[in-house]
């Protein structure tokens, strides 16, 4: 069941020329569903258009695909416009900034307009309280947590305003992670790309995007779109950048998770061995592949996750989930409940609840 979607994604990234065989109408319908579930329809449809004529889906499905692909391009055009507007807002406020994930990673794709987009994550080089004070004078502030606040800059696009790009529950690993982030901060805020806004360097993204996947796996779930992002980040990296990133990842205790990620990238995208950051971990990789397949993009399609009726239900569900992920980060599972209790008190003390 996974073979054909993986083959199509290999065509998308250029590690395969065509599918191993033609598909029936039912198989094409199933493949379209997988692409939508994994938020990879745009890049997947580009790959379909590259296939030999005899391997393409029937005309009615092709027409549906064209319509969906055009919608994704229109959403990207809107998001690109909002990113530049947000850049201007930050510059007017004299706040150094960097656009994380999303459009900051899409520029690494052969066709950035085909990457399915979401909201905007902007990281600002400004103390949290001062940042919220400055932004709050002109824009509505929403939910505030340890690393970001929801801000209504636009009516049609959500924006997360980051004062910290990512974090860990384990104190000693989190300290090492924050040291790396602080040391790299000024470089990210000055890394102007060809689209006209600041985005992370490849070296920073090798660490940050891995952490982004780890955080989402532990909280709700993770899909293949984030792994395709990481594939393109690696493909744009050089040997020195990869070596530096692995050194940081070891210091934050995420080598086992990185090994699982390498396994997934090899299985799904046929990542060449010369680009491997660490040795693939087959056991954890297979577990991760299963989580990806069941949950889809950010775990939104995971039927194992029921709607929480209360805060205690949410806490119990997440704790249960994290226990199943113990092998990926034992200290994170152990420290998690203590960190969450501290975080609740921190939000209450600061008036964020």
In the 3-class helix/strand/coil scheme, how is 290-337 assigned residue by residue? HHHHHHCHHHCCCCCCCCCCCHHHHHHHHHHHHHHCHHHCHHHHHHHH
Confidence of residue 343 (pLDDT cuts 50, 70, 90): confident
Q: Residue 169: what pLDDT? A: 93
What region, left, alpha or beta, does residue 187 occupy, with left being phi > 0 and alpha being psi -120 to 50 degrees? alpha
Read off the pLDDT of each residue in 93-110 and give the average, rounded to a whole number.
93
Distance of alpha carbon 52 from alpha carbon 4, whole angstroms: 15
The contacts of residue 9 (CB under 8 Å, 6+ apart) are 40, 43, 44, 47, 224, 228, 268, 269
| Strands (DSSP E) found in 153-230 | 159-162
For residue 154, the model assigns a pLDDT of 93
The CA-to-CA distance between both ends of the chain, in Å, stands at: 45
**3-state SS assignment for residue 98:** strand
The dihedral region occupied by 14, where left means phi > 0, alpha psi between -120 and 50, and beta the remainder, is left
State residue 314's pLDDT score.
67
pLDDT of residue 256: 95
Q: Where in the chain is the domain with CATH 3.30.460?
A: 82-200
Q: What is the mean pLDDT of residues 91-112?
A: 93
pLDDT on residue 143: 87
178-213 exposure pattern, b = at least 16 Cβ within 10 A, e = fewer: bebbeebbeebbebeeebebbbbbbbbbbbbbbbbb
**pLDDT score recorded for residue 309:** 58
CATH 3.30.460 fits 82-200, yes or no: yes
Tokens of 223: 């899909």
Confidence bin at 228 (pLDDT 50/70/90): very high
Buried b (16+ CB within 10 A) or exposed e, 216-229: bbbebbbbbbbbbb
Give bridge partners of residue 148 from the DSSP assignment: 162
Q: How confident is the model over 304-334, as pLDDT tens digits? A: 555 555 666 666 666 777 777 888 888 998 9
10 Å Cβ neighbour count for 328?
21
Instruction: Return left, alpha or beta for 152; rule: phi > 0 is left, psi -120 to 50 is alpha, else beta.
Output: beta
Contact of 316 with 240, CB cutoff 8 Å: no
Contact assessment for residue 261 and residue 210, using Cβ atoms and an 8 Å cutoff: yes
pLDDT digits (tens, 9 = 90+) for 247-293: 999 999 999 999 999 999 999 999 999 999 999 999 999 999 998 99
**Mean pLDDT, residues 241-250:** 97
Environment class of 96 (CB within 10 Å of its CB; exposed 0-12, middle 13-18, buried 19+): middle
CA distances from 169 to 21, 51, 185, 189, 212 (A): 46, 45, 21, 26, 14
Kindly report, residue by residue over 7-25, the tens digit of the pLDDT: 999 999 999 999 998 899 9
Structure tokens at 152: 């209504």
DSSP string covering 111-172? SGGGSPP--EEEEESS-HHHHHHHHHTTSEEEEE-SSEEEEES-SSS-EEEESSS---SSHH
DSSP SS3 for 96: coil
């Amino acid at each position: 069941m996974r073979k054909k979607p993986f083959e199509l994604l290999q065509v998308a990234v250029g590690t395969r020329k065509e599918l191993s065989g033609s598909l029936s109408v039912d198989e094409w319908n199933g493949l379209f569903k997988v692409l939508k579930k994994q938020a990879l329809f745009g890049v997947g449809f580009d790959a379909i258009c590259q296939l030999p004529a005899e391997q393409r889906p029937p005309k009615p499905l092709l027409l549906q695909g064209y319509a969906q692909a055009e919608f994704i391009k229109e959403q990207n055009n809107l998001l690109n416009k909002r990113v530049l507007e947000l850049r201007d807002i930050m510059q007017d406020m004299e706040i150094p900034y960097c656009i994380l994930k999303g459009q900051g990673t899409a520029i690494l794709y052969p066709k950035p307009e085909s990457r399915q987009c979401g909201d905007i994550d902007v990281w600002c080089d400004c103390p949290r309280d001062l940042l919220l004070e400055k932004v709050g004078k002109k824009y509505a502030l929403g939910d505030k947590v340890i690393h970001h606040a929801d801000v209504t800059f636009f009516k049609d696009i959500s924006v997360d305003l980051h004062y910290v790009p990512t974090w860990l529950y384990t104190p000693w690993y989190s300290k090492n992670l924050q040291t790396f982030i602080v040391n790299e901060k000024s470089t990210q805020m000055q890394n102007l790309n060809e689209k006209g806004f600041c985005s992370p360097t490849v070296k920073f993204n090798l660490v940050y995007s891995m952490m982004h996947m780890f955080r989402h796996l532990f909280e709700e779930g993770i899909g293949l779109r984030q792994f395709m992002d990481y594939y393109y980040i690696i493909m744009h990296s050089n040997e020195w950048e990869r070596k530096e990133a692995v050194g940081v990842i070891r210091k934050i205790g995420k080598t086992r998770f990185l090994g699982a990620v390498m396994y997934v990238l090899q299985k799904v995208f046929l990542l060449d061995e010369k680009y491997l950051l660490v040795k693939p971990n087959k056991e954890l990789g297979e577990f991760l592949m299963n989580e990806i397949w069941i949950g889809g993009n950010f775990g939104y399609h995971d039927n194992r996750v029921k709607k929480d009726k209360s805060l205690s239900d949410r806490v119990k569900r997440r704790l249960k989930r994290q226990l199943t992920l113990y092998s990926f980060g034992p200290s994170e599972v152990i420290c998690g409940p203590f960190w969450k209790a501290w975080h609740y008190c921190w939000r209450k003390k600061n008036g964020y609840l």
